[in-house]
Chains A and B, each alone.
Chain A
Amino acid sequence: MKTVESLIFECETGNYHTFCPISCVVWLYQKIEDSFFLVIGTKTCGYFLQNALGVMIFAEPRYAMAELQENDISAQSNDYEELRRLCIDIKKAINPSVIIWIGTCTTEIIKMDLEGIASKIEIDFGIPIIVARANGLDYAFTQGEDTVLAAMTQRCPEEESLNSQSDFDDNFKSNQPSLVLFGSVPSTVSSQLNLELKYQSISVSGWLPSQRYTELPYLKKGFYVCGINPFLSRTATALMRRRKCKLIGAPFPIGPDGTRAWIEKICLTFNKKPQGLEEKENKIWNELKNHLHLLQGKSVFFMGDNLLEISLARFLIRCGIIVYEIGIPYMDKRYQIAELSLLGHTCKKMCVPIPRIVEKPDNYNQIQRIRELQPDLVITGMAHANPLKARGINIKWSVEFIFVQIHGFVNVKDLLNLFTRCLHLNPSD
């Protein structure tokens, strides 16, 4: 607790570049295989998604825009009828197990009652409709996933269905209370994390989200839940308040230090003595020795856009890097408390000053600071990446952290690679 208090938080103007939270559609439609995402918004939203999705859009994704026309804005058409018509079309064409409506800025401003309409249409023709308001008025980038998962917590069954897949924890049907992990990662990553916990004799009873909507984990009062990403504070809140689950507040399994601390915290909750974790972590640091040597004393500046910044900075500091500034769109100190205190401890351990944490940063001011500080690496969005590079500053495109596997022990090298490559520090070069 003490270390958290000694961290300094600042707040700027919020004039920064980030992705619109509807971008969560990009990875969530791939994760949830039987879903369909309908973004209810304007051409602006569609244009963003189509360009951000890049080549993925041509693979006929299970997502579409419900593009609002002038008569929708001026309430000359009936929202219910319009949405019903589109959902019937989608059901006919694709027949998904669930349709997820993404509310946007426009639906907020014209106060379209998406939740109300959804529940009617759901009854009308029997397809689940989940409403998530992932708009740029309230949220940034990855928080989009948070709003979707928070809405999804309501759909997790209360009883375990008979045909549910729980074979992997059959062996462990012990007295351990159930543990559900939340956060969207590729299934290989979730298998890896399951396996890490299995080594500690802890079984994971499910993931939110699951690979298919029909396989959402069941949730009961008293279940333990634990997040794997720092931007899931609404989901955590929903799980605690609405589903009466107990949240395990742990640092996030990013980097070997984070992964170890994450597993240890879960072990502690379940009264298990961690087995071989320290050796495992040390072994990884040992394997990384050559690279860490090169990283010693390098400096990094996070402009902030995806909320992974605290965890990544903590990992980099442990690698021997000095972090000047951690920009971050939004800081939930309660949800991230364990991660923040690990950051504090790591700084102390590595004998480096604690970086300033800047909430809602101002990109213009940050660029002035970057000019002064001349960091070795700036982690930033694509809008500033090329111009900074043209001014002789090394950059790392921050969006990649969302699309590269960075969780757990297995992916540490991939994670580190992202940084060393930008610093041109690869020994093989």
Chain B
Amino acid sequence: MKLVYWMYTGPAHVGILRVASSFKNVHAIMHAPLGDDYFNVMRSMLERERDFTPVTASIIDRYVLARGSKEKVFKNILRKDKEQRPDLIVLTPTCTSSILQEDLKNFVNRASLSARSDVILADVNHYRVNEFQAADRTLEQIVRYYLLKAREQGFLKNQSVTTVPSVNIIGIFTLGFHNQHDSRELKRLLEDLGIKINEIIPEGASVKNLINLPQAWFNIVPYREVGLMTASFLQKDFGMPYILTTPMGIIDTADFIRQVQKNVNKLAPFFLKKTFDFESYIDYQTKFVSHAAWFSQSADWQNLTGKKAVVFGDATHAASITKIMVREMGIHVSCAGTFCKHDSNWFKEQVQDFCDEIIITEDHAEVANTISRLEPSAIFGTQMERHIGKRLGIPCGVISSPVHIQNFPLGYRPFLGFEGTNQIADLVYNSFTLGMEDHLLDVFGGHENKKVLTKLLYKKTKFYWTVESQIELQKIPGFVRDKIKINTEKFARQKNVRTITVDIMYAAKKSFTNNLI
């Protein structure tokens, strides 16, 4: 057993559901007890989804414990098949169902005989993998299922690659950190380069189109957490090369484009009788579309040179942001870290030359201790680090999931590509200046004026609070207590009452809610 107050990654089934519900017309059925379908709430709230999340539960209750859930799962699969006619139904085990050790595979085989849709069982061990690993695996499983099936049926035989350069983007999906914006930015970038987007999976893709995947010249995996398994499967079985560099920051974006060039030029002479050269494009974009390069040269930025920062997040974002800060912005990264323990070797290798220390942990307290020991001027981390920063009075820019609703912005905020460099520069700069402003305010007496004002306003009349009403007032949570007190006294003043009893408090409350209606 492990004492846990907070987790950076969710349970495995969340990863499965994120992949399944990103595809179009794929339905996931969770084999789970009542209340485990919280995923639907998150998707509906965070992504502000307009459609019903295609996830239902086949409920495990006492009856199931006694009798087994065979009939129930079977019936629920066929019911969904009939009601919503999905292309694919993914039976999703949960940690509860995995200890029941029922032969879910067998249920799936049986159901797929009678269902019109394809039915598969997500093959994941709940006690060994986290959300990211499960998502990675499930995406690969679905792709493999459709491609091998198509190969068996002979559909892939006469398929060849497209005549114009094209790519698949693998790993854009629901509830991903700024994934929608990144996807748009990548599309724009590739369009600029004259490259066709063959398929983007899983977000918005149809499983029917998965057989088209091998038509692309190569694959792009923007985030290493999800998509790598699929890419290496496609490489092994279909000889498709892939690019794993995340185009985040000016240097890595340029590197990414050069790799694209290399891959394109393998086939371009054959199909198009020419080769591509993207150097002038990189040069133009770096100088004129991205303002980050210029911004970090400007006078304003000089103040930030050598400032200390701590970076923490998933492997992709934490590594990229660390490199950007050091190589492109001249900021001193005291510590870089990730919670992706399963990918720690890669992470260490990426950042070891760019920071003083490296932290690999899933324990937020360890991160908090590190931050308070290092006392950086700013933190770049997840929602948790934002709150650690709040407590320590250090500003924080959010650069990685887990995040809350404010990090699903409606406006266009990619982290990838050249527009991404602008966004990141803003984020970093704003975090630091906020800290500076705050510091200056402290030096010059802070925000005290406000308090003085309210004190003056409410000095005129004295009120006598009875013992009971004082006790009652103490019960009100601290952050609203002053407001309640002021409102009650305001009410008492109107009524010409000097002694405030509990009754007066309630009457005041009533009168104020009355105004609110």
Contacts and interface: CB of A to CB of B under 8 A. Distances in A.
A363 B109 CA distance: 27
A147 to B, nearest CB: 14
A167 to B, nearest CB: 10
Interface string B146-185: 0000000000000000000000000000000000000000
A47 B34 contact: no
A65 B3 contact: yes
Interface in B47-70: 48-53, 56-57, 59-62, 65
Contacts of A22: 35
Nearest to A63: B5
B94 interface: yes
A15 B38 contact: no
A279 interface: no
Interface string B503-517: 100100110011011
Interface string B69-111: 0000000100000010000000000111001100000000000
A383 B41 contact: yes
A44 B94 CA distance: 8
Nearest to A90: B3
A30 B128 CA distance: 34
B10 interface: yes
B517 A381 contact: no
A281 interface: no
A105 B513 contact: no
Given A20-B34, A137-B62, A73 B127 contact: yes
- Most A Cβ at <10 Å: residue of B7, B38, B76, B514: B38
Given A137-B65, A386-B49, A46 B1 contact: no
Contacts of A47: 7, 10-11, 14, 38
Chain B, interface size: which category?
A: 35 or more
A353 to B, nearest CB: 29
A110 interface: yes
A188 B473 CA distance: 9
Contacts, number: 186
A384 B45 CA distance: 10
A353 B3 CA distance: 53
Nearest to B34: A136
- Most B Cβ at <10 Å: residue of A18, A47, A48, A287: A47
A137 B60 CA distance: 6
A188 B472 contact: yes
B513 to A, nearest CB: 4
A191 B472 contact: yes
- State the main secondary structure of chain A at its contact with B: helix
Given A386-B48, A428-B517, A66 B3 contact: yes
A280 interface: no
A416 interface: yes
A64 B3 contact: yes
Contacts of A372: none
B190 to A, nearest CB: 32
A86 B99 contact: no
B36 interface: yes
A170 interface: no
B37 A140 contact: no
A382 B35 contact: no
A423 interface: no
B52 A387 contact: yes
Nearest to A368: B83
B35 A20 contact: yes
Given A138-B62, A410-B509, A383 B53 contact: yes
Given A20-B35, A51-B42, A106 B5 contact: no
A55 B327 CA distance: 35
A291 B517 contact: yes
Given A191-B475, A386-B50, A73 B506 contact: no
Nearest to A58: B387
A212 interface: no
A25 to B, nearest CB: 12
A69 B2 contact: yes
B513 A383 contact: no
Given A64-B3, A188-B472, A51 B38 contact: yes
- Most B Cβ at <10 Å: residue of A44, A50, A287, A384: A44
A315 interface: no
Nearest to A386: B44
Nearest to A85: B1
A387 B51 contact: yes
Interface of B: 1-7, 10-14, 32-38, 40-42, 44-45, 48-53, 56-57, 59-62, 65, 76, 83, 94-96, 99-100, 126-128, 130, 384, 387, 390, 404, 472, 475-476, 502-503, 506, 509-510, 513-514, 516-517
Interface of A: 14-15, 17-23, 40, 42-44, 46-48, 50-52, 54, 57-58, 63-70, 72-73, 77, 82-83, 85-86, 89-90, 105-106, 108-110, 135-141, 186-188, 191-192, 195, 287, 291, 364, 367, 381-387, 390, 410, 413-414, 416-417, 420, 426-428
- Across the A-B interface, give the 10 residue pairs with the lowest CB-CB distance, nearest first: A20-B35, A136-B33, A383-B40, A390-B50, A58-B387, A43-B11, A70-B127, A42-B95, A82-B1, A136-B35
Given A42-B127, A390-B51, 6 more contacts: A20-B38, A43-B130, A73-B127, A188-B475, A191-B502, A384-B52
